[in-house]
Amino acid sequence: MSDERDAVVVTASRYPHGYTSVRSLGSKGVYTIAAVDDTDLSVTASRYCDESVLVPPPSNLPAYRDALLGLAARPDVRTIIPHRPHDTYILSRDYEAFDRHIDLVVPPMETLRNVHDRKRLAEIATDAGVAIPETQLLSEVEDWSDNRIVKSRYNLLTDAYLEEFELEDSKIAKSVEHIAPGETPDVDALIEKMGHEPIVQEYVEGAGEYVFGALYEHGEALGTFQHRQLRGDSYTGSGGVYRESVHIPELEEAGLAILDELEWHGLACIEYIEDAETGEFSIVEINPRMWQSLACAVKAGADFPAWYWLAATGRSELIEPGYETGVSTHYLYGELEHLVSVAREESPFVERPSLAGRTGEIARSCVEDRSFDVLHRDDPMPIVRQVRNEIEDAVGRRLG
């Protein structure tokens, strides 16, 4: 592609990683275009966002794909960086159409299928000697005497994975059900709730939750990153909202092993749980895109948005991998979601903390560690916009 194509499209949502990419690339002089389905999102208020373009929501996947293709065809656009769960699927599925216009760093469709299909991923991990919870299809389970988790086989339900789906039927399936020992679930009800036959995994008692992030180029790692999750958006786990960069050789070995086995190409965020009994790092899932806690990586020096830009523009040799450990960041809205989970959620496996105690813990950590995903002195408007939006939504819900 011509060097005159100097703009990057960031598919941003209400989560903070789109803003992190815009901030990273904009601060380096790259022209940033935020593709959003709501022009009031906080990222559009950033001084580093050169342009925002309204696109349909990914729930309307054909229209969303066409909008991204339209952006790709612009003469100034060089690449699109995937942030939303649908993005890599669209970019890989319709790679030839996008490749006519822009440069991408995304896996081939068959490789992507191996990651999106959690049953298949478990088989590949086992072959690679990487720990992963015992995984079965729901219909295969005969023994419910142990702690079990039921979750979607495919995080993204769409036409390439499920015969009964068309592209326009695509949707995200994120439900997770904790099944206590001796409790036999209603199989038909679970299949109906999740929209397909889910998987069942053994529950792994965790000593900690971690993320291993990587950017690969045709089977070779260009740069990696690790963080330990200090709090998730639920007290039972899930996406990290307070995290700290770490470097653990065993985690590095596990992350590289599975991605090498996949001959990976592109971004990967692997969620791990440290098995409290064995000490092994067991795979929870792989997301082939930028991840929610990206700000922690960038602050520590693992600048994945810049690295992706270099790889997409044929300059991967300029990537300088490495990062500082002990760097932490907060996602403030996620911290509020954590408190909501303490007030409203229950799990037979994870003891619920006290609301007052956890509120105090969050407040102390925000005072002692003043590093935030969206709150920055040199760019105050995104957090102002986010607070305004949340207040307006709260008032609207009460009046409605």
Please give, one letter per residue, the 3-state secondary structure of the chain. Answer: CCCCCCEEEEECCCCCHHHHHHHHHHCCCCEEEEEECCCCCHHHHCCCCCEEEECCCCCCHHHHHHHHHHHHCCCCEEEEECCCCCHHHHHHHCHHHHHCCCCCCCCCHHHHHHHHEHHHHHHHHHHCCCCCCCEEEHHHCCCCCCCEEEECCECEECCCCCCCCCHHHCEECCCEEEECCCCCCCHHHHHHHHCCCCEEEECCCEEEEEEEEEEEECCEEEEEEEEEEEEEEECCEEEEEEEEECCCHHHHHHHHHHHHHCCCCEEEEEEEEEECCCCCEEEEEEECCCCCCHHHHHHHCCCHHHHHHHHHCCCHHHCCCCCCCCCEEECHHHHHHHHHHHHHCCCCCCCCCCHHHHHHHHHHHHHHCCCECCCCCCCCHHHHHHHHHHHHHHHHHHHC
Over 60: is that where the pLDDT of 263 sits? yes
When pLDDT is averaged across residues 76-80 and rounded to a whole number, the result is 98
Asked whether residue 138 falls in the same domain as residue 266, the answer is no
Asked whether residue 213 falls in the same domain as residue 275, the answer is yes
pLDDT number for residue 347: 81
Asked whether residue 376 falls in the same domain as residue 236, the answer is yes
| Residue 60 lies in domain | 7-106
Contacts of residue 370, defined as CB under 8 A and 6 or more positions apart, other chains included, come to none
pLDDT number for residue 396: 60
Do the domain assignments include residue 393? no
Over 70: is that where the pLDDT of 194 sits? yes
Asked whether residue 182 falls in the same domain as residue 260, the answer is no
pLDDT tens digits, residue range 212-229? Answer: 999 999 999 999 999 999
Mean pLDDT for all residues in the chain: 93
Do the domain assignments include residue 127? no
Over 50: is that where the pLDDT of 109 sits? yes
Over 80: is that where the pLDDT of 132 sits? yes
pLDDT number for residue 28: 97
pLDDT number for residue 400: 57
Over 70: is that where the pLDDT of 4 sits? no
pLDDT tens digits, residue range 247-257? Answer: 999 999 999 99
Is the model more confident about 138 or about 389? 138
pLDDT number for residue 329: 96
Asked whether residue 229 falls in the same domain as residue 372, the answer is yes
pLDDT number for residue 2: 40
Domain boundary among 166, 187, 202: 202
Asked whether residue 69 falls in the same domain as residue 154, the answer is no
Asked whether residue 226 falls in the same domain as residue 365, the answer is yes
When pLDDT is averaged across residues 118-145 and rounded to a whole number, the result is 94
Query: How many domains does one find in the chain?
Result: 3
Asked whether residue 210 falls in the same domain as residue 177, the answer is no
Asked whether residue 139 falls in the same domain as residue 254, the answer is no
Query: How far apart (Å, rounded) are the C-alpha atoms in residues 9 and 67?
Result: 12
Query: How far apart (Å, rounded) are the C-alpha atoms in residues 90 and 92?
Result: 6
Over 60: is that where the pLDDT of 21 sits? yes
Is the model more confident about 86 or about 1? 86
CATH for 276: 3.30.470.20
R_g of the chain computed on alpha carbons: 21
The answer to whether the beta carbons of residues 34 and 15 sit under 8 Å apart is no
The answer to whether the beta carbons of residues 147 and 200 sit under 8 Å apart is no
Do the domain assignments include residue 315? yes
Over 50: is that where the pLDDT of 55 sits? yes
Among the listed ranges 21-30, 140-149, 304-313, which one has the minimum average pLDDT value? 140-149
Do the domain assignments include residue 118? no
pLDDT number for residue 387: 87
When pLDDT is averaged across residues 367-391 and rounded to a whole number, the result is 91
Asked whether residue 85 falls in the same domain as residue 148, the answer is no
Do the domain assignments include residue 37? yes
Structural tokens at position 120: 């298949």
When pLDDT is averaged across residues 338-367 and rounded to a whole number, the result is 89
pLDDT number for residue 77: 98
Q: What percent of the chain has pLDDT over 90?
A: 83
Do the domain assignments include residue 59? yes
Asked whether residue 219 falls in the same domain as residue 350, the answer is yes
Domain boundary among 202, 235, 252: 202
Domain boundary among 89, 106, 123: 106
pLDDT number for residue 124: 95
- Type of residue numbered 35: A
Among the listed ranges 9-23, 155-169, 200-214, 228-242, which one has the minimum average pLDDT value? 228-242
Do the domain assignments include residue 335? yes
Do the domain assignments include residue 20? yes
CATH for 89: 3.40.50.720
Query: How far apart (Å, rounded) are the C-alpha atoms in residues 391 and 383?
Result: 12
Confidence of residue 119 (pLDDT cuts 50, 70, 90): very high
pLDDT number for residue 1: 37
pLDDT tens digits, residue range 173-183? Answer: 888 898 989 89
Residue 392 burial by CB count (10 A; 0-12/13-18/19+): exposed, middle or buried?
exposed
Confidence of residue 198 (pLDDT cuts 50, 70, 90): very high
Asked whether residue 351 falls in the same domain as residue 226, the answer is yes
